[in-house]
Amino acid sequence: MNTRILISLFIMLLTSMYTGAQNLMRNLSYGFRLERGHLIPGDKFGKDLIRTNGFGSYILSATYRADSATATPYDLTFGYPGIEAGIILSDYSRSTLGRPGRDHTSCIGYIIGLYGRFNRDLLQLPSFRLGYSISNGIGYCTQPYSYPSNVDNEFIGSPLSIYFATSLYAAFRFHPRFEFMCAYGLRHFSNSALSRPNKGANTLGTSIGLRYYPSADEKPTYRLYNSTDSPKGIYFDISAGCNLHTMIETWYLHQSSPSTVPAHFPVRPSFATSLSAMYRYHLKFSSGISLDYMYAGYYAEASRIDSNKGVTGYHYSPHVLGVSLRHEVRYRRIALGAGFGWYLHRRLGQMGETMAKPYYETIGLRYYIPSTPLYVSYDVHAHLLRADAMQFNLGVCL
């Protein structure tokens, strides 16, 4: 009797797995895109480094889009977005870099990346779609900064990079199984201040491609979102974690003698925490205000560097306090968070005041752990879009 029960349960499990796999495959499509564009420097020095400018990408992807049978309320409210995973090969070989008056040239080479992408249609017609996308991932650079062979590549300073991208796209379904796609957008690779140098490789480009729908004979059905199902209300978001930072002071300290630039810049961890009062006014949107604190243990090193340079008149403290406006966009268990803040207290010496300005920005992703109020997250902490640190947090929503 027990054997029959076990066999029955096993058959039911296999049937469920097969049905789930069928549903997944039915909602998958596959794409290939080609992109051409150019580097855009973040400052005048970056512009002076670029001698020839050319950029291309080759992208392979798979995209999942739910239908009524598999949709969650998040799929309904976003209008059935496409969740894409892919591999990107970015070719910077046509871009050469070099300081004015120097014969030697440097290059970025190639960056191979793995990414996830959120595609949302803003306009949907029977054969035409128009929308936007947001991507995040990691990349590996074949020719990062090195002395003396690649000394003028100040855009990518280490082999591993964080990848962000955003674009506007249009798609035309000219055949039941094939779709033509084109897009225009921004790509960004940088090490997020986990090494130096770190100007970041920013590009603007246009892409074209094809998407293949293997299950085009099965027409998915869709239903509308009922906004009355949306949870609303005030909640508190408490997080704590580790802020990882390399000091830009160390990079500038060696600029007069590049041969002395260290092969690896020390990554300096700092404790960071925040307390946010948030208001969730839609299933996918929350906004609020946050009090942010960090204990910058590297303040003594900033003081030592300024003292060795003969710099006076600055104050030094490990305590950094700021207040920021926060916004979160959530899809299922993944959320994109962004913030804009103002320092109430920050005393980290000459470079701290010169490079940081009185304000800061944060952007990152978080994952909500099932059946708990907990989440894990990472954020890039930046000043005027210049990355200053990477922060990893564990948080709770109450």
pLDDT tens-digit readout, 256-299: 788 888 888 899 999 999 999 999 999 999 999 999 999 999 99
pLDDT, position 2? 55
DSSP secondary-structure letter at 149? T
* 203 & 336 share domain: no
Look at the chain and report how many structural domains it folds into.
Answer: 2
Average pLDDT of every residue of the chain: 90
Nearest to 286 by CA among 244, 325, 322, 257: 325
What CATH code is carried by the domain that includes residue 64? 2.40.160.20
Rg (CA), the chain: 24
In a domain, 50, yes or no: yes
Tell me the pLDDT tens digit for each residue of 293-327.
999 999 999 999 999 888 888 989 999 999 999 99
Please name the residue ranges forming H helices in the chain: 2-26, 44-49, 73-77, 248-253, 299-308, 349-356
Is there a domain that residue 20 lies in? Answer: no
Question: 5 lies in a domain?
Answer: no
Residue 79, Ramachandran bin (φ over 0: left; ψ between -120 and 50: alpha; else beta): left
Cβ count within 10 A of residue 233? 9
Please check whether residue 153 is in contact with residue 102, taking contact to mean a CB–CB distance below 8 angstroms. no
Type of residue found at 107:
C
User: Does residue 239 share a domain with residue 331?
Assistant: yes
Based on the fold, state whether residues 91 and 147 are members of the same structural domain.
yes
Q: Is residue 310 domain-shared with residue 389, that is, in the same domain?
A: yes
Over residues 9-65, the pLDDT tens digits come to: 555 544 444 444 455 678 999 999 999 999 998 888 889 999 999 999 999 999 999
Q: Is 14 helix (H, G, I), strand (E, B) or coil?
A: helix
Report if residue 10 sits inside a domain.
Answer: no
Tally of CB atoms within 10 A around 29: 20
Query: Is there a domain that residue 361 lies in?
Result: yes
Domain-terminating residue out of 186, 212, 238:
212
- In this structure, are 205 and 269 located in the same domain? no
Please report the pLDDT score of residue 384 as a whole number.
82
Flag whether the pTM goes above 0.85: yes
d(CA 63, CA 30): 6
Query: Residue 226: pLDDT above 80?
Result: no
For residue range 339-378, what is the model confidence (pLDDT) as tens digits? Answer: 999 999 999 998 888 877 899 999 999 999 999 999 999 9
What pLDDT score was predicted for residue 260? 86
pLDDT at 19: 45
pLDDT at 8 over 80: no
- Do 204 and 235 have their domain in common? no
CA distance 117 to 122: 16
Whether residue 112 is found in the same domain as residue 250: no
Name residues whose C-beta falls within 8 Å of residue 61's C-beta, 6 or more positions apart in sequence.
30, 31, 32, 33, 84, 85, 86, 87, 117
DSSP 95-147: -EE--TT-S--EE--EEEEEEEEEEEEEEE-SSEEEEEEEEEEEEEESS--BT
In-domain check, residue 1:
no
Answer whether residue 166 shows pLDDT above 60: yes
Mean pLDDT computed over 64-89: 92
> What pLDDT score was predicted for residue 357?
81
Return d(Cα 78, Cα 66) in angstroms, integer.
11
Look at residue 5 in the predicted model and tell me its pLDDT.
57
Q: Is the predicted pLDDT of residue 220 greater than 80, yes or no? A: no
Query: Sorting pLDDT into bands at 50, 70 and 90, what band is 228?
Result: low
Dihedral sign of CA atoms 314, 320, 322, 326 in order: positive
356 is written with which tokens?
Answer: 């940081």
Residue 324's CATH number: 2.40.160
On whether both 194 and 240 belong to a single domain, the answer is no
Which carries the bigger pLDDT value, residue 395 or residue 260? 395
Q: What percentage of residues in the chain have a pLDDT greater than 70? A: 92
Same domain, 36 and 184: yes
Query: Is 239 in the same domain as 193?
Result: no
Cβ proximity of 128 and 87 under 8 Å: no
DSSP 213-255: -TTTTS--------GGG---EEEEEEEEEEEEE--HHHHHHTT
CB neighbourhood size of 314 (10 A): 16
Q: What is the pLDDT of residue 18?
A: 42
Residue 357 belongs to some domain of the structure: yes
- At residue 218, the pLDDT reads 60
**Residues 142, 92 share a domain:** yes
Nearest-5° Cα angle at 167, 23 to 40:
145
- 42 domain-assigned: yes
pLDDT tens readout for residues 150-160: 999 999 999 99
Q: How high is the pLDDT of residue 20? A: 46
Name the burial class of residue 22, with classes exposed (0-12), middle (13-18) and buried (19+) by CB atoms within 10 angstroms of its CB. exposed
- Both 137 and 242 in one domain: the answer is no
Domain span at residue 364?
Answer: 230-397
